[in-house]
Amino acid sequence: MNHNRRLAAALGMAVAVIITGTPAAAEPAAPPAAPQRFEFPAEARRQIPLVQAAGTIRRALDQGANPGYAGIELQDDRVVLWWKGAVPAPVRRAVETARRTAPVQISTATHSLRELRAAGARLRTSLAAQKPRVKYAVDGSRVVVDIEGTGFTTARVPEVGVPVEVVDQGAKVLTSRRDDWPQWKGGADQINGNSRCTTGFPVRNSSAEFILTAGHCGSNGDQIRDGVGEFMGTFTADNDGHDIALVHTPSGADNLMYVGGLDSNVVTTVEGWDWVFPGEYLCQSGGSSARDTGGPVCGLRVEKFNTDSGDAVEARQVDGRPAVRGGDSGGPVFGPSASGNVIAKGINNYTYVGNNTILGFQDFGTATRDYGIWITD
């Protein structure tokens, strides 16, 4: 680990967070801060065994086609696996293994995820003029279609073989700490020209180290700097479909992330990544939220996974507070580990006009599939 200052970043709410003036000249680096444990809310800490059990089942699901699978959900005191039809033997074995960690219940789903995705694809085609955002219910009960501001009703939805719920959450807006230091860390300001985002997680593949961030925070080849104008790296591997990208950092990236206020150098250790599950409580550490609240935003309960090409996840701030702010884009979404550190879960992407209690983010599992990356160590 090296000195900890803060970085600065690009784009945010709809247009971006626009920066006026020029960054100040870099001052001598502050003394390095030892990683500290982030104090998660009690509801997130209680879920640690549930998340571990759900992860055991999810890894088994990744090994097969599993056409009856509908979803995995974290409820108050148990994991619920929703399934249509007979559960295959390998999945049942994984459930028995998971039950050594936490209670697991297998519940009957009316429709499988495969059926919901097929219905969603038909809805995107037939309702293309309305530009629907399609999501699924984790219990396999229905498809949720989010259509903005047209007064569209369920009566106008074509028959697709599954129940359909129509909602209007408003227009989607992209969300876009101060001065970091190599090796670069997560949760810090990331500047691209005159706009600002937040660095996500320090990652690597077999040959290089990067910062994972939001795709709308730049374009391939952009030169990314920290809050005082110091060169961090080059924007690369922009995936607009999943709204993620990498910043290649020649001077390295460290498995740390900021968890204090905007000018704090308090960091914690990121010890790995895991999948995201409906019902899970998470936090996000965007730079603008750190400025306004003094630290990460927690109480983010995962509600839905989108079935459209963006494949994003949505969480709601359970106390009705803003889940995310302009300038938070690209910032880390994370949960607790059993050892007291943090686990990478995803990258901040968007919220909704008139409903900023919702955070839309891309899950880390999708980034791993896209880029073949893992958390640096």
138 against 188, higher pLDDT? 138
pTM: 0.85
10 confidence band (pLDDT: 50, 70, 90): very low
Kindly list the domain boundaries of the chain, sorted by start residue.
17-25+34-42+173-375, 44-108, 113-169
Cis-peptide into 183, omega within 30 deg:
yes
C-alpha triplet 169, 170, 173: angle, nearest 5°: 110
Contact (CB, 8 A) for 315 and 306: no
- Cα 274 to Cα 272: distance, rounded to the nearest angstrom: 7
What pLDDT is attached to residue 260?
A: 86
C-alpha triplet 23, 196, 35: angle, nearest 5°: 85
Task: Summarize pLDDT for 86-108 with one digit per residue, the tens.
Answer: 999 999 999 999 999 999 999 99
* Phi, psi (degrees; rounded to nearest 5) at 22: -120, 150
What pLDDT is attached to residue 26?
A: 39
Task: Summarize pLDDT for 40-81 with one digit per residue, the tens.
Answer: 999 999 999 999 999 999 999 999 889 999 999 999 999 999
- Cα 240 to Cα 269: distance, rounded to the nearest angstrom: 29
310 confidence band (pLDDT: 50, 70, 90): confident
- Cα 296 to Cα 259: distance, rounded to the nearest angstrom: 6
Alpha carbon distances (Å) from 2 to 51, 252, 253, 324, 345 = 32, 10, 10, 29, 24
Mean pLDDT of 139-159: 87
Equal CATH topology for 17-25+34-42+173-375 and 44-108? no
Lowest mean pLDDT among 17-31, 180-194, 214-228: 17-31
Percent of the chain with pLDDT strictly greater than 70:
88
Class of 44-108 in CATH = alpha beta
- Structure tokens belonging to residue 191: 């500047």
Contact (CB, 8 A) for 16 and 196: yes
Architecture of domain 17-25+34-42+173-375: Beta Barrel (2.40)
- Cα 16 to Cα 18: distance, rounded to the nearest angstrom: 6
